[in-house]
Structure 1
Amino acid sequence: MHPLVTRIRVPGFFAGEDNARTVQDIAFNAMDEFFQLIDNQLAEQQWWYQDQWSAMDAYLYWCFWRVQGAGYPVEKFPHYCAHAQRMEQRPAVKRAIARDEEAIKILESEGLLFIPKRIIR
């Protein structure tokens, strides 16, 4: 999924700004298959490996978080959305998000924050 995440998040990097929308559209369509597989897996269980949290759940959350922030329609996958909400309740994830928010403030104050150009749909 990682290659698709980057094509959703920074599509202009791969084909220039003139073709960014096309790259992102292709990545959105390709990501649907993966998100549906994940949504199906999480329909009957709390974590990827049933009741056992694993590093796979962390990776799934990272993918979810990255594409959600780029406009990918995560709401089409309610079980994956519920998984993300469970992840956000974990103390370690709360700490990581807080650190990320602090780093963003620092980068912003130093004029170094990179914000990918968002494609308007």
Structure 2
Amino acid sequence: MRTATGLAEVCRQTGRLTQAVDLDERVHAIRTHTLGPDHPETRASRTTLADTYRQAGRHADAAPLYRDALTDAMRDHGPYHPDTIRFRRALTDTTRQSDANRPPAAERPHMPERPPSTEAGYSRLGP
């Protein structure tokens, strides 16, 4: 595993991001299978994969991994731990980048608004 992780790092540093993504995906899959999803090495490989996805411009793939990492860090360390802050920032930046790559609102298909709820005699403004 360490060899594959080291090779992925070299690929990232030399700009061969497709190869780095492939290696990081393999490492993460193997660690998840052998160590389980909550093992520290599995969590580390998940954030490395998210970082590589983000570096490769694959923000939609990185966001759920950062979201999982943030959830784990909040549960384990609380809201002010450096890891929690790092994952929150990475998720925010990744989401912003993903949104920046979306077409402008005028080019997106129109989505009708949901009608107001009238359950139990209540409207949007009250009884």
Q: TM-score, normalised by structure 2?
A: 0.39
Using CA pairs below 8 Å that are at least 6 residues apart, which structure has the higher relative contact order? 1
Q: Which has the larger radius of gyration?
A: 2
Q: TM-score, normalised by structure 1?
A: 0.40
